[in-house]
């Protein structure tokens, strides 16, 4: 609550694996806010939806060779690739949206966004070697 204006501002970050479900989440938030405001005649409501970090899948699926080459590079470094879906929140998401399909490749980090987030030197070295290998694989295609 802003003490000077009496204006309350609420921000929510909403993500989902599916665009349709994301829209449903936004609708629920919108309806809930409208119902709350409707009960107070002095209340004002302004809703702004800003899209950021879209799901990368829709940008990567039309280009399966990108994932194939990334997995080839990972295997060439002696690592078995694991696909783990994410809901955005990465530079790869934004770059993909801008026209440069960019999958996430591991960085060596663990327990992201927690109080115990850490990275091992060995895993970071493997990630760096994988990126070098990916450049080689991409150039040879």
What is the chain's pLDDT, residue by residue, as a tens digit (141 residues)? 555 656 667 778 888 778 888 899 999 999 999 998 898 888 888 888 887 778 888 899 999 999 999 999 999 999 999 988 776 678 888 899 999 999 988 888 889 889 999 999 999 999 999 999 999 999 998
Question: In degrees rounded to 5, what are phi and psi of residue 80?
Answer: -85, 120
Co-location of 43 and 74 in the same domain? no
* Together in a domain, 69 and 125: yes
pLDDT for 100 equals 94
Same domain membership, residue 61 and residue 47: no
Same domain, 44 and 67: no
Q: What distance in Å separates the CA atoms of residue 128 and residue 79, rounded to the nearest whole number? A: 13
pTM beyond cutoff 0.75: no
Query: What would the two tokens of residue 113 be?
Result: 């966004």
Q: Are residues 123 and 66 in the same domain?
A: yes
Do 70 and 122 have their domain in common?
yes
Residue 16 and residue 39 in one domain = yes
Give the model's pLDDT for residue 55: 83
User: What's the number of domains the chain is made of?
Assistant: 2
Beta-bridge mates of residue 109: 119
Q: Convert the chain into a string of H (helix), E (strand) and C (coil).
A: CCCCCCCCCCCCCCCCCCHHHHHHHHHHHHHHHHHHHHCCCCCCCCCCCCCCCCCCHHHHCCCHHHHHHHHHHHHHCCCCCCCCCCCCCCHHHHHHHCCCCCCCCCCCEECCCCCCCEECHHHHHHHHHHHHHHHHHHHHC
Report pLDDT for 127.
Answer: 94
Q: Are residues 46 and 104 in the same domain?
A: no
Do 34 and 71 belong to one domain? no
64 and 37 inside one domain: no
pLDDT of residue 71: 96
Q: Please calculate the CA angle 11-15-36 and round it to the nearest 5 degrees.
A: 40
Give me the domain span that covers residue 30. Answer: 1-51
């Amino acid at each position: 609550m802003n003490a000077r204006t009496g204006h309350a501002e609420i921000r929510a970050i909403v993500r989902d694996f599916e665009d349709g479900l994301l829209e449903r989440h936004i609708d629920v938030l919108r309806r809930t806010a409208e119902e709350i405001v409707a009960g107070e005649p002095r209340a004002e409501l302004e809703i702004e939806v800003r899209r950021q970090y879209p799901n990368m899948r829709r940008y990567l699926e039309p280009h399966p060779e990108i994932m194939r080459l990334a997995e080839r590079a990972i295997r060439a470094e002696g690592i078995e690739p694991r696909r783990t879906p994410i809901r955005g929140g990465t530079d790869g998401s934004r770059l993909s949206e801008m026209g440069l399909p960019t999958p996430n490749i591991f960085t060596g980090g663990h327990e992201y966004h927690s109080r115990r987030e850490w990275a091992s030197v060995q895993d970071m070295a493997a990630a760096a070697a994988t990126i070098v290998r990916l450049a080689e694989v991409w150039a040879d295609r």
